[in-house]
Every structure is written in structure tokens, then in C-alpha cells.
């Protein structure tokens, strides 16, 4: 299988799905992961038939260390040359102040956004080291750059993604592995519905009065970062919609 291979975690919706579509359209073979197998199978069928590429759907929870290592530590031979790994799977749960937030929500965010990213990276990095080639794209957030009210642990997990990206960049330097952290601001995916545990009204309010980023914007940016010449790496990229200055400041109509 001669073409480029991208592995995207959290490809069942939002950024991950859009990234899979973007790279598949450019002829990349895709390893797509997530917990919702029906969505994975549907996306795999769509990408395969639309773009005549190969797709390997892998259904697992990034919080489960053994499951991650079992799936990604035993990739079929023809899928082992992963050129780009996008650590995208992640979530926020709740928008509660430090004193009122739930420990269970904190555990899930830390286990997914931080530990999941570490498990996946640990499984794939040896394959990149072998080839002295590879590109890790970690999806952080503007929440990594400024803590906002009632953002506490979500912001902390994204600060951790920021720090881990810097650490990977230093430690993997001898192997010519690029590490890019993309930090998007508000984008209208399922993110807020998940954060507000299915409350569509609360989720919709997040995007009222301005045009947020769309998943395709992040996919275009990831594709740009992955398309640069071998000697060029975008290290850290913060992107927001025009109506957002940072985690705290928006210009909304009405």
C-alpha cells in the first residue's frame, strides 16, 4: 500500500470526521477510530467509495490503555507506516465552577484528553522512530492558552496537551518527527452538546450571535500543516473565528 497513511482519533464526528474527509479527498489512506462503531463503519464505507482509498476503522475507547495498545500496537503490516497521527479524540464535560464540578467529569476529561493522547502516541511513536519520519498533530484548544471561568479541568487538560506537544517536539527531535499543536477556538461541532450532556439549548447558546469556526476550517488547517515540505514544521497554531479574540473575548451581535 504505497500511499500516505493518516491515523485520526475521534473520527466519528466534528473535527476528526472532517479531517478524515479532507485527507481522503487528497488520496490518503485513513485509519479512523472512535467508540461508535456504526459511525465508523458508515464513514469507512463513504470514504472508500467516494475517494477510492483504503480505510481501517478501529473501534475502541482511548481511555482504556489495554484496548489502545491492543489495537494500535498490532496494526496490520500494511498499515504500520503511519505518516500523520492526529490526536483529536477529546471532550469537555460540564461548565461548572471548581467548587461545584463533578469528580467523575474531571476523571473522564483527564483520562480522555490527556491519558488517551499519551496511550495513542506511545503506540504509534515507535513506528515513526523506526522510519525516522512522521508527524503528530495534537488538537489542543484556546482553553490551553487562557483559563476561563468554570473551565478549570478542561482548560487544564488542554494545557497538558500544549505541554506534551512541546515535550514530544524536544524528545522526538533526533527522529525527524514533526509535532504540531493546533489550538482552535469555538467551533460548531457536537462538542457543546457533549459538554452540556445533551442539552441542545445550552449548546446552541454557545454559538449565538457570531459565526464560529466550522470543522472543515480545522481540517483545512491540519491539511496545510501536513502538506509543508519535510524541513518545515508549524509548531504551535492558535486559530479562532474572526469574532473571537481568545478564550475570554467574543464580539457577538445583539
Residues noted as catalytic: 154
- In whole angstroms, give the CA distance from residue 153 to residue 162: 14
| Among 14, 94, 134, 151, interactor with ligand NDP by CB under 6 A | 14
Chain positions 156 to 185 lying near ligand 8X3, rule: CB under 6 A, are 185
User: Cell numbers 480505510 label which residue?
Assistant: 55
DSSP-derived secondary structure for 177-218: EEEEEEEE--B-SSHHHHHTTT-HHHHHHHTTTS--B-HHHH
Q: What angle do CA 121, 172, 64 make, to 5 degrees?
A: 15
Rule CB under 6 A: choose which of 13, 87, 180, 247 binds ligand 8X3.
247
> Does 216 sit near ligand NDP (CB under 6 A)?
no
Q: Give 115-133 as a DSSP string.
A: IIHHHHHHHHHHHHHHHT-
Site for ligand NDP in 168-187 (CB under 6 A): 184, 186-187
Q: Could you say whether residue 141 binds ligand 8X3 (CB under 6 A)? A: yes
Q: Pick from 96, 107, 190, 220: which binds ligand NDP (CB under 6 A)?
A: 190
Instruction: Answer with the entry of ligand NDP, ligand 8X3, none that 119 interacts with (C-beta below 5 to 8 A by kind).
Output: none
Q: How far is Cα 154 from Cα 90, in angstroms, rounded to an integer?
A: 10
> What are φ and ψ of residue 82, in 5° steps?
-75, 115
- Cα pseudo-dihedral 77, 68, 87, 34, rounded to 10: 100
**Residue 88 makes contact with ligand NDP by CB under 6 A:** yes
d(CA 9, CA 253) in angstroms, rounded, equals 35
Q: In the window 191-210, what residues touch ligand 8X3 (CB under 6 A)? A: 191
Residue 247 contact partner, candidates ligand NDP, ligand 8X3, none, CB within 5 to 8 A by sort of partner: ligand 8X3
- The reply to whether 143 sits near ligand 8X3 by the rule CB under 6 A is yes
128-157 positions binding ligand NDP, by CB under 6 A: 139, 141
By CB under 6 A, name the binding residues for ligand NDP: 9-16, 34-36, 61-63, 88-91, 112, 116, 139, 141, 184, 186-187, 189-191, 194
Amino acid at each position: 500500500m504505497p500511499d500516505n497513511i493518516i491515523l485520526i482519533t475521534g473520527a466519528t464526528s466534528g473535527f476528526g470526521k472532517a479531517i478524515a474527509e479532507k485527507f481522503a479527498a487528497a488520496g490518503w489512506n485513513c485509519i479512523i477510530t472512535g467508540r461508535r462503531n456504526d459511525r465508523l463503519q458508515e464513514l469507512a464505507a463513504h470514504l472508500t467509495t467516494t475517494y477510492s482509498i483504503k480505510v481501517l476503522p478501529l473501534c475502541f475507547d482511548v481511555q482504556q490503555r489495554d484496548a489502545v495498545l491492543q489495537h494500535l500496537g498490532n496494526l496490520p503490516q500494511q498499515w504500520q507506516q503511519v505518516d500523520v497521527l492526529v490526536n483529536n479524540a477529546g471532550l469537555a464535560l460540564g461548565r461548572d465552577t471548581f467548587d461545584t464540578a463533578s469528580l467523575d467529569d474531571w476523571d473522564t476529561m483527564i483520562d480522555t484528553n490527556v491519558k488517551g493522547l499519551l496511550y495513542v502516541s506511545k503506540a504509534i511513536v515507535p513506528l515513526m522512530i523506526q522510519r525516522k519520519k512522521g508527524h503528530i498533530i495534537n488538537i489542543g484548544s484556546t482553553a490551553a492558552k487562557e483559563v476561563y471561568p468554570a473551565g478549570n479541568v478542561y482548560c487544564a487538560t488542554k494545557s497538558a496537551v500544549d505541554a506534551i506537544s512541546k515535550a514530544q517536539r524536544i524528545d522526538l527531535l533526533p527522529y525527524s518527527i514533526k509535532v504540531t499543536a493546533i489550538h482552535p477556538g469555538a467551533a460548531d461541532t457536537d462538542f457543546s452538546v457533549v459538554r452540556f450532556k445533551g442539552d441542545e439549548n445550552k449548546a446552541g447558546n454557545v454559538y449565538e450571535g457570531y459565526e464560529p469556526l466550522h470543522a472543515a476550517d480545522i481540517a483545512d488547517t491540519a491539511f496545510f500543516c501536513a502538506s509543508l515540505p519535510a524541513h518545515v514544521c508549524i509548531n504551535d497554531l492558535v486559530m479562532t473565528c474572526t469574532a473571537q479574540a481568545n478564550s475570554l473575548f467574543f464580539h457577538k451581535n445583539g
